[in-house]
Structures are given as C-alpha cells and as structure tokens.
Chains A and B, each alone.
Chain A
Amino acid sequence: MAIGASGSTGHSCRDAADALFGFLDRSLCPEVRDEVRVHFERCPPCVHLLDSYRKTISLCRRALSAPVPPETRGRLATRLRQMTANVPGSRSKSG
C-alpha cells in the first residue's frame, strides 16, 4: 500500500484509515509505517481520526469496567453452590 505524503488526496486518507489498526498495533512494515506517519503529520482530519480511534478504545474499556455488584456476587455464590451440589458425579465439597 502506498500512502501519499501530501495528505491531500482521498486515496491517501482512505489508506491511512485502513492502516490505522496496524499503525497502532505496530504491525506495519517500517516503510509503510513511515508513510502513514508522514500522512498523519500533514493531514489534521486524519490526526483526529487517529486520536479519536485511540480514545474510543479507552472509553469502551472505561464504560464497561463495572465489577459484579456485591448483592449479585452473594446471590451467585449461593446459587452456584446449590447447582454444583446437584451435578452428577460431583465430588464431596470441602467448603
């Protein structure tokens, strides 16, 4: 894939968008990575794309980082004890 250095052609922006994953994942070959970097340096909208893509990853992690609510935790432990006690071939429980 060739990335235009000017950042002025649609093809370049599309290629930069397609290369985003590999750029952040550091899996692009050095030549392509350099081309993508040059494109990003010269193309503010693509810089935004890169920045917002990175932030999306972090925001997803934060938005879904809730632990099990304590009351749910207790209910689950009780239910699992009851259910596992009825599993055929279940061994003697020590707890």
Chain B
Amino acid sequence: MAPTDQTAPAATDQDLLSVARRGDYAAFEEIVRRYQDRVYRLGLGMTSQPAEAEEVVQDTFLSIFRGLASFRGDASLSSWIFRVAANASLMVLRRQRRKPHLSLEDTRPDYADDGGGRVRMPGAWVGEPDEMILSGELKGLIEAAITGLPEKYRLVLLLKDVEGLSNDEVAQTLGLTVPTVKARLHRSRLIVREQLDDYFNKR
C-alpha cells in the first residue's frame, strides 16, 4: 500500500503512533522503518551476533505491535521502543547465556609506578576520531570491548554514545536515575578506552 498523507515521512512519532493505534498497518510499518536501524544496532551491540540482532528487532516490533492498543503514551515513542528493545536484547542474551564479563574492579586509568600517581604516558591516538582509519581490527576490538561490558553498563553506553540519547532519556528508558546513568557511562567509557589505549600502545 502506498503511504497515506498520515504516514508521510514528515509525520511526527506522535502522529504515527495515533494512526497506528487506529489500526493503520502502514503507519506501523513507518514506525518500523524509522527505528529498525537503531534497534538493530542496539541488538547487535548487546549480542554481537547479526542473527540475534535480527531476533531483537523482530521481538521488539512484535511487542510494540501487540502493545499499541494499551500504550498509555506516558513516555515518548522512542523511549518505549528502546525500553522494549533493551528488554528484548536481555531476553535474547538470557537464551544465549555466554561470555564472561570484564571486571569492573579497576576502571581507572593506568597510573605510573613512580609514586606520583600520575597517569601513565600513553601511546599515540593520532588524529581526530572522524579521520582515524577504522580498520577491521580496530572495529573488532571496539565491538569486543563493548560486548565485554556487563549488560547493564553496555546498555547505557549503547543508548547514550551510539544512539545519542540524552542522559535523561537513557534514565527514563531504563528506569534509572540520571546519576546512575552517568556513573555507568563513565565507567564503561573508561573500560573501553583502556582497551583502546592498550591497542594503540602496541602499535
């Protein structure tokens, strides 16, 4: 079916939601089109397996479809979708059950052993991030570092740093306080940074 005016790309999320709730499947499909890349990325970041990321997308939008009639609209559509996607990812991981996680015991930078407590002088991270060559090796390392984070930390980092949600939106999506989001995000970034630092130091 060709999209109706109500399902044109310019429609707001709220418009689409209203139309979809009235049974317009084209509006639901537009919601899927609008969010499937982001849900897929979250699923891939959480599970690191394309087939499982696909499962996350499928489970997420099936749940959204089932919940359309009862959705009270007390959260934004995006918050609702990300919350469902986060839960779908965790469910897939439950089924998957694997992979030991990295320890969060020490996420501080590497301090020099000279008694001064200074941060150890690092190897080179040459260039700006947008200009740095993202080799397959480096990409794999980043993915592995993120996959190695405990699930609740990984979710926060993916929603904030990959999907670009605000701290408030992440907190609302995951039912956390903003300080908790900030603390988890900071530790996650330090862990990933540490592994990248090791990589760049060895080059």
Contacts and interface: CB of A to CB of B under 8 A. Distances in A.
Interface of A: 7-14, 17, 20-21, 25, 43-46, 48-49, 51-69, 72-73, 75-77, 79-80, 83-84, 87, 89-95
Given A13-B111, A13-B119, A14-B117, A64 B158 contact: yes
Contact of A56 (B24, B122, B192): B192
A43 B1 CA distance: 62
Interface residues of B, number: 61
Interface of B: 1, 23-26, 28-29, 32, 36-37, 40-41, 44-45, 50, 54, 57-58, 61-62, 65-66, 69, 108-109, 111-112, 115-122, 125, 128-130, 132, 134, 138-139, 142-143, 146, 157-158, 161-162, 164, 167, 182, 185-186, 189-190, 192-193, 196-197
Nearest to A87: B66
Contacts of A91: 23
Contacts of A92: 23
